[in-house]
Structure 1
């Protein structure tokens, strides 16, 4: 299997039980997660050798975050220790017509205050096959942005495949929008595989096709095939992948995806999914596609594996997709549950 490195902030997730609102909560369920950590867990579950780059506080909460990753056989040797606190996000799980809600509490977290010199990137990227990062980490602080761009430079210097999920988060883009977009466009020159929808392309990269209908505030609007080709060529990408989501309501979606390379565009089959927990769905999708490409799957089969993996994640509570390769393949091959495996 492949040697993979991801970089990002692992967060403590605090959620009211079930579908309770924040105002109703007398207790909070604790989990750990975060975009890049979620991808790391999925890829480790598929058998890859995965390392995680981050910084967590040198206290019991930092210990818990590391222990959680190690439980999934993720190498944590590149996690720096120090800083005042672990980033937190509060998650209220919506239902039916009520949307889910996230409140971030990550200002001055350990990862946000990390320094480039805390990471030996020359050693980290030796003999690595793939590096994955997202557009979330660089916008939490200027220091995190510096760490991210330095990692991208070392990855490219060592001929590592670079995967980047644009991952627009409106609550992290309140200020310095032009500066952040400039950073992202600069980062894209290091990227081989990119994940993102139309909103990501417009908000994160500042991309526009000059048509009024391209910039759309819908979170899940799928980028058109024409614009996919334009973005692919603009940034010299090997693959551009976007998920398609028809939101029936918060609890029920129709889910599929589209992928393109310089030669062709492919659309996956669709899944009707009843959602237990949507968080991490995009990360499990990205990890699924990366697993396929690294395992020698065709672009088409990689996309089908990715969509099946994400469909499974929507049925699992927490950030992580606790699923094996064979479970994903079973769903991919139309074994869609309904029976007890015994």
Structure 2
């Protein structure tokens, strides 16, 4: 049975809260004794964006019971995120290191998440009756099941609980090669989770790597646009055929060139492929969190009953604007995003 989308409940984002530490590539942070940091984590980025845009937003994670966690929870609450079901257990907050301006897919990213409170989750620990009370939409990403088998099992537990309660589910196919280190390939784990999802977001390469969806091997990132759009349609149709619960698939295309960056997206639903305007810029500030902002934009649009084309336009503009914000989370308001939409409208 497919979930019926309701805009009367909260959107619950489930994932690991992270701190991003940003050493500069030249090593000047050592001499300056100054190391910038940001609060992040894919699902937390979605939760804070939704709260900023007026969508009732809740966040579920696991944190140690100490003063640092208290400060982090207070930070989320200051961003209007509901934190009532955050679980206190374990000993540490997960970290990752990435220089400013670099992409999380960059080989230089360093994860320090082993042994974190979230990585210590096990099935049966979370009270899903409590966690899903008043929730109409559950969001999670492929980063969580990449940590270890037990957390992957918790993700399945969450999805089963959502299905039993007719909660709409979205999944972001974030692929992080450095995290899949526990003996399982993504394609051995993610299809079992994807079958519970109503909306799946990612890109054509992630769908191939994580769900086993066929991909034309001749296609390269930054290749001919019409061929990529055609593959987006084929990938979307294949996902819908393989996972009957899913009714909507979104794909992003972000390419770096010497002259700057190109960004466009697609949304496949109701047998139609929507294509966003193409955004270009010579310079950006921070690539981290743009995909999360796109996902939040999709949720915002569908939650507010926007049309598929308007939903895609909003999500794409939100993601593009995030490239100019030096943090993991967006600070762009709905009005600012709408101004960007107007500027880039065809």
CA deviation after TM superposition for structure 1 residue 181, in Å:
2.3
Asked if 1:206 is matched to 2:193, the reply is no
Gaps of 5+ in 1: 337-342
Residues paired across the two proteins, number: 326
C-alpha separation in 1, matches of 2:101 and 2:134: 43
C-alpha separation in 2, matches of 1:158 and 1:126: 9
C-alpha separation in 2, matches of 1:107 and 1:123: 27
Deviations 1:103-147 (A, max 9, x none): 100001100002333321012223322110000011112221122
Q: Residue 189 of structure 1: which of 188, 191, 195 is its match?
A: 195
Asked if 1:331 is matched to 2:335, the reply is no
Contact 1:240 1:259 survives alignment (8 Å): yes
Q: Residue 24 of structure 1: which of 21, 28, 40 is its match?
A: 28
Partner residue of 1:295? 304
Q: Report the secondary structure of 1:150's partner residue.
A: helix
Q: Residue 11 of structure 2: which of 4, 13, 32 is its match?
A: 4
Deviations 1:302-332 (A, max 9, x none): 0000000011111111100112211111111
Partner residue of 1:340? none
Contact 1:91 1:100 survives alignment (8 Å): no
Gaps of 5+ in 2: 1-6, 223-227
Deviations 1:241-277 (A, max 9, x none): 011123115x931111011014210110011133111
Asked if 1:71 is matched to 2:78, the reply is yes
Contact 1:113 1:141 survives alignment (8 Å): no
C-alpha separation in 2, matches of 1:64 and 1:253: 36
Asked if 1:265 is matched to 2:273, the reply is yes
Tell me which stretches of 4 or more aligned residues in structure 1 moved more than 6 Å. none
C-alpha separation in 2, matches of 1:252 and 1:105: 31
- The 1:22–1:102 alpha-carbon spacing in structure 2 relative to 1, beyond 3 Å, is farther
Q: Residue 279 of structure 1: which of 280, 288, 291 is its match?
A: 288
Partner residue of 2:92? 85
Q: Report the secondary structure of 1:334's partner residue.
A: helix
CA deviation after TM superposition for structure 1 residue 173, in Å:
2.1
Q: Report the secondary structure of 1:241's partner residue.
A: strand
CA deviation after TM superposition for structure 1 residue 22, in Å:
6.2
C-alpha separation in 2, matches of 1:285 and 1:318: 15
Partner residue of 1:45? 52
Q: Residue 251 of structure 2: which of 242, 248, 254 is its match?
A: 242
Q: Residue 226 of structure 1: which of 228, 231, 234 is its match?
A: 234
Partner residue of 2:3? none
C-alpha separation in 2, matches of 1:71 and 1:49: 14
Contact 1:268 1:304 survives alignment (8 Å): yes
Contact 1:94 1:101 survives alignment (8 Å): no
Contact 2:101 2:285 survives alignment (8 Å): no
CA deviation after TM superposition for structure 1 residue 93, in Å:
2.3
Q: Report the secondary structure of 1:117's partner residue.
A: coil
Name the TM-score, length of structure 1 as normaliser: 0.89
Contact 1:10 1:87 survives alignment (8 Å): yes
Q: Report the secondary structure of 2:20's partner residue.
A: strand
C-alpha separation in 2, matches of 1:295 and 1:51: 17
Partner residue of 2:329? 320
Name the TM-score, length of structure 2 as normaliser: 0.88
Greater relative CO (CA pairs within 8 A, separation 6+): 2
- The 1:94–1:101 alpha-carbon spacing in structure 2 relative to 1, beyond 3 Å, is farther
Contact 1:93 1:100 survives alignment (8 Å): no
- The 1:22–1:239 alpha-carbon spacing in structure 2 relative to 1, beyond 3 Å, is farther
